[in-house]
Amino acid sequence: MAKVEGSSLHWGDILVIVGYFIAVLLVGILSSCRNRGSVGGYFLAGRNMHWIPVGASLFASNIGSGHFIGLAGSGAASGIGIAVFELNAIFILMMLGWLFVPVYTAAGVFTMPEYLKKRFGGVRIQIYLSVLALILYVFTKISADLFAGAIFIQEAIDIDLYVAVVILILFAALFTIAGGLTAVIWTDFIQVLIMLIGAIILMVMSFIKVGGYEQIVRKYKEAWPNSTLSTINTPYNNSYTNCGKPPDNYMHLIRSPEDGSLPWPGIMFGLTISSVWYWCSDQVIVQRALAAKNLSNAKAGTILAGYLKFLPLWIMVFPGMIARILYSDKIGCADPVECKKICGSENGCTNLAYPTLVLDLMPDGLRGLMLAVMMSALISSLTSIFNSSSTIFTMDIWRRIRKHASDIELMIVGRVCVVILVVVAVVWIPIVQHVSELFHYIQAITSFLAPPVCAVYVLAIFWKRTNEKGAFWGLMVGLVVGLIRFGWEYAYTVPPCGREDEDTRPDIIKKVHYLHFGILLWGISSIVTICISLLTKPIADKHLHRLTFWSRFSEEPREDLDAPEYESKENLTDTPKFLQIADWHEVPWYKKGIQWICGIEKMHGEDEMTEEQRIAFEKKQNSIHETTVWKRVLNINAVILMVFAVFLWGFYA
């Protein structure tokens, strides 16, 4: 079978990729026909998802192409330590299912900023967090996946980078615009299967190629590039010696407090703070759990996602270490001149670890499957981000501008928001291309911005004395401190390995790891929030029913702190004229097609629910009741999962 001209792929690989796109497209179209015609159906999949697609979507929304490139690259650079980010998430997922989702469900919210709006009243916190979330989505999550996907595509196919990335973005946006969260979750489910099958095949082939697990442990510490050995031959007490040499703690998850990459206090506490923000208050993740048909399915989904989080160590990190063993000169290069020739970067080429394994080890056909895996990971993450971003903009920002917007208008605005995000992402591509150390860069940005948000959510849910003034000023003080550290951090250039004497950074930047700074920032924000809350008027209990963990089962009627500023039901008098259609049967065929894409065809001619029916429906949707049997089964499974995680931590400690 001949190779395709201008590509390292065979025709069989191309056919596999085309088959993948067709299969996922069909799944997206079919699933998008469900839960259409309502805001709840579009943004939360009608809150009717089973635990399997919920768990798969939680995993797929988190694992993007950035993980395949980033985790494998970090594994090639420093061993298994980077896996702590995945293992830590297991415990936080249990917190999501058992502590946070019950409150969000009982509160009956669509978005996380909407929860804070109900909890504290006012709009300034809600709008601030909405804008912050959109900024983080566009400039960290989207850019990270685009950067990682671009690396793989450039290695595999001789195609213009911009053309390839734009096609992938538009494909992801098409699913989100047409189908909403239902299509996103079901395509996530298919893509998880593809990712796992392809990645496990490559893992097995990599282990066979290197000679097994024991050979990885033995050979990794000897994976020195020849260029490093020939140019760095100074005594061991010289700083140049460590350049290109694998660290001695490459098989340890828990590392020294002075470790420049993964210090254990930062991992245990700083990473936990960032993880609580990401897994328990970030719209992309929580939206999947809220789409479950009931609390038991949401918990089961988090358990499934927790079990899946064991896999990255084996299917991404270890293959990255194997790539360094097999291709030491390429993946492990330390000489800036040599690295520049190999991958165009003077800081190293470990990001090529996973693509190199795929292109060198996989046979025809399977190579195309792995490229499909990368595309599915990229598309999965992008669809999740696009859907969640459109939800935040529509529900938290647009309804501030258009207080009486109809359901039709809200769903069209959500789709237009996706289009705008696509444009911004495409414009951002040139910037993404010049970012180095992307994985740690994103984690650092998270540690600079996320801890204040984590502090406010934790206090809002578990301490009823927290009020709006305390939360707002806690967020503002945290934002200022975080931005100061951010600007200070990147005002200096980190010298390359071996030139530590040229480091002009102050000790507060050089010696305070970003994860340690995250702990400090969380503490500052928490103290400010607590002190100001205690010095100002508390929120009356009548406004807090079902909004804190301790009141989640309350049956008392809750009085909103602020009067509703929008109407949830359709108000034709305020609907733009071009959206007002008297009779669905009289609509021309081409307009029907446009409205089907917008998901509003079922709104015509349907009877509205009475007030009693609406209250009964919302009560059912917001119920957190669980049967005794399923509650025990889920609790036992959660304990078993965490025991396995603790064992793995201890085994590689």
Per-residue pLDDT, averaged over 57-84, amounts to 85
Hey, where are the domains in the chain? 11-230+264-332+347-436+540-602+611-651
Tell me the backbone φ, ψ of residue 145, rounded to 5 degrees: -70, -35
Q: Work out the angle at residue 55's Cα, subtended by the Cα atoms of residues 53 and 56, and round it to the nearest 5 degrees.
A: 60
| Neighbour tally for 162: CB within 10 Å | 13
C-alpha separations of 487 from 206, 347, 463, 504, 623 in Å: 42, 22, 33, 15, 45
pLDDT at residue 225 in the model: 81
Least confident residue range of 82-96, 128-142, 156-170, 186-200: 156-170
pLDDT cut 70: percent of the chain above it: 71
Task: Give residue-wise pLDDT tens across range 433-489.
Answer: 555 556 677 788 889 989 999 999 999 999 999 999 999 999 999 999 998 998 888
Least confident residue range of 28-37, 279-288, 314-323, 583-592: 28-37
Which residues are CB-neighbours of 97 under 8 A, at least 6 positions away? 289, 298, 299, 301, 302, 303, 638
Give 549's pLDDT tier (boundaries 50, 70, 90).
Answer: very high
DSSP bridge pairs for 10? 3
C-alpha separations of 11 from 7, 15, 151, 152, 361 in Å: 10, 6, 21, 18, 17
Per DSSP, the residues of 11-58 read: HHHHHHHHHHHHHHHHHHHHHHTSS-SSHHHHHHGGG-B-HHHHHHHH
Rounded CA separation 361/490 (Å): 39
Asked if 446 and 272 touch (Cβ cutoff 8 Å), the reply is no
- Assigned token pair, 492: 């200096």
Q: What is the dihedral of CA 641, 647, 648, 652, to 10 degrees?
A: 170
Closest CA to 294 of 17, 14, 60, 620: 620
Supply the pTM of this predicted model.
Answer: 0.81
Rounded CA separation 351/435 (Å): 12
Rounded CA separation 495/434 (Å): 17
Domain 11-230+264-332+347-436+540-602+611-651 fold is Sodium/glucose cotransporter (1.20.1730)
Rounded CA separation 354/333 (Å): 15
Asked if 432 and 259 touch (Cβ cutoff 8 Å), the reply is no
- Assigned token pair, 131: 């804008």
**What is the total residue count of the chain?**
653
Asked if 514 and 442 touch (Cβ cutoff 8 Å), the reply is no
Q: In the predicted model, is pLDDT for residue 496 greater than 90?
A: no
Give 183's pLDDT tier (boundaries 50, 70, 90).
Answer: low
| Neighbour tally for 566: CB within 10 Å | 14
CA-based R_g, the chain, Å: 25
